[in-house]
Amino acid sequence: MSEKFTGNFTQQEPIPEEAIEAAVAVMRSGRLHRYNVAEGELGEAALLEQEFAAQMGSKYALAVASGGYALATALRAVGVKPGDRVLTNAFTLAPVPGAIASVGGTPVFVDVNEALTIDLEDLAAKLDQAKVLMLSHMRGHLCDMDRLMEMCDAAGVTVIEDCAHTMAARWNGVLSGRQGAIGCYSCQTYKHVNSGEGGLIVTDDEDLAARMVMLSGSYMLYERHLAAPAPEVFERVKYVTPNISGRMDNLRAAVLRPQLRDLEQQVVRWNARYQSLEDGLRDIPGLTVVERPEAETYVGSSIQFLLLDWSEARVQEVLARCADRGVELKWFGVPEPTAFTSRYDSWRYADVPQLPKSDRILRGIIDMRVPLTFDLEDCAQIARIIRAEVGVVYQSAL
C-alpha cells in the first residue's frame, strides 16, 4: 500500500513562551501603541528596532505594520513618484508590484532564470529604463549580489531589497538586505519570524531613515526611536514628508523580539529539513533541482523544483497524485492565480510584457512550504512520494 503523508503544510510552530509572556505584559499595561510609553520607559517597538539594527549590522531600523507597507515606504523614501518606472522581478509575489503601483509607479518586469533569480543579462538590457530596482529575493533565492550591485551602481540605479524570504540569508557572508540602499523584511505568519503581520526596514542612510520614520507616522515623536538618526536629520524632512501611518505596535514587537534572538538556530533547523528534501529529489528523471550557489547561505523555509517543458496536463497530474497522498504542491504555471501563485501576467494594472523566457520557467516551477512542524522523517517521506509520483507520470509519457 502506498504511504501517505498526514502533516499540515500551513501549521506553524507555537509562539515561544517568552514571547507570549512579553505580549501578555504589554496587554496588561494597556500601552499597545508604540509611542504610548511612560516617562523613561523604552517601548517594545523601539527596543525591537534597536535589536534588529544590531543583528543586521545596520545603522537604522524601523518596525512597520507589514512587509508590503515596508516596500511602499522604501519606494516613497527614495523618491519614486507617480509615473516613474521601477524595475522588478517577473518571478515574485503580488505585494512587490503592488507596492510599486501603490505609489503610482509602473513595474518594469525583468526575466527570471533557471536558478529562480533575476536574470542579470535582461537586467543589464533594462537598466536604462528606471532609476530604482525593487529586487525580490523570491522564495529565498539570491542572485549574484556582487555583480548586481556593481551593475546598478554603475548605472545610478538605487536598489531596494525585498527580503521577505531571506531574513538571515547571506551572499558571500553579507546579510541579505545589506547591499542595497534599503532592506525590507516581512514578519507575516509564513515568514521566518511570526507576528501575524509586520515588517522591518534597515538602512545606513540617515535621510532615508528619517523619511521612513516620518512616513510611518511618528507624529513628531521620532526622539522615542532607538535606531533612528539624530534630531537634526529629522529637521530636514519633517515638514515635507507626509504621515502615511503604518507603525508596528508594541504587542507585535513583543512577540517578535524573542523570535529574532532564536533566528539563527531556526535557520539551522530549516536547512536540515530543506537538505533532506533536496537529497530525496535528486536524480529524478524529468525533475530539475534548483542548485544553490556556493556563495549563498540560504534559509530553507520553502523548496522549489522544476518540471521544465512538461505539458499542463502532466503537471496537473503530478499535483493531483501528490495531493492524493497528502503532499501539497503549488504550481506557478497554473492558468488562474491561486493563493500565492500569481505571476507578472496576473497583475493587469501594470503593463504585461512578452517574456517568453520567464514564461517557460514559470510554467515549470513547483513550490512547497517547509514548516518547522515537519521533522526530518516527514521530509524524507514527502520526497519519496514526490519521487514516486513524478516517476509514474514521466514514465507514462515515454
Do 263-396 and 17-261 fall under one CATH topology?
A: no
State if pTM tops 0.85. yes
In percent, the amount of the chain with pLDDT more than 90 equals: 93
Q: Is the pLDDT of residue 336 over 90?
A: no
Q: Is the pLDDT of residue 22 over 80?
A: yes
Q: Is the pLDDT of residue 339 over 80?
A: no
Confidence band, pLDDT 50/70/90 cuts, at residue 335:
confident
Q: Is the pLDDT of residue 241 over 80?
A: yes
Which tens digit of pLDDT belongs to each residue from 257-295? 999 999 999 999 999 999 999 999 999 999 999 999 999
The lowest-confidence range among 117-121, 339-343, 369-373 is 339-343
Higher-confidence position of 319 and 350: 319
pLDDT mean over 156-171: 98
CATH architecture of 17-261: 3-Layer(aba) Sandwich (3.40)
**Helix (H/G/I), strand (E/B), else coil: 15:** coil
178 contacts 47 by C-beta, under 8 angstroms: no
pLDDT mean over 179-193: 98
pLDDT mean over 200-223: 97
Q: Is the pLDDT of residue 219 over 80?
A: yes
pLDDT mean over 336-359: 88
Confidence band, pLDDT 50/70/90 cuts, at residue 352:
confident
Higher-confidence position of 263 and 38: 263
CATH superfamily, domain 263-396, is Aspartate Aminotransferase, domain 1 (3.90.1150.10)
Residue 85: what pLDDT?
98
Strands (E), the chain: 60-64, 85-89, 106-110, 132-136, 158-162, 170-171, 174-175, 182-186, 199-203, 288-289, 296-297, 302-306, 330-331, 365-369
pLDDT mean over 310-332: 97
179 contacts 149 by C-beta, under 8 angstroms: yes
Confidence band, pLDDT 50/70/90 cuts, at residue 40:
confident
Q: How far is CA 142 from CA 117, 148, 168, 326, 331, in A?
A: 6, 11, 12, 30, 21
Which tens digit of pLDDT belongs to each residue from 43-78? 999 999 999 999 999 999 999 999 999 999 999 999
140 contacts 370 by C-beta, under 8 angstroms: no
Which tens digit of pLDDT belongs to each residue from 110-150? 999 999 999 999 999 999 999 999 999 999 999 999 999 99
**Helix (H/G/I), strand (E/B), else coil: 289:** strand
User: Domain boundaries in the chain?
Assistant: 17-261, 263-396
Q: Is the pLDDT of residue 1 over 60?
A: no
Strands 60-64 and 170-171: unpaired
| Mean pLDDT value across the chain | 96
Task: State whether the Cα torsion 113-117-122-124 is positive or negative.
Answer: negative
The lowest-confidence range among 93-107, 290-304, 345-359 is 345-359
User: Which grid coordinates belong to 168?
Assistant: 538571515
Distance CA 164, CA 64 (A): 13
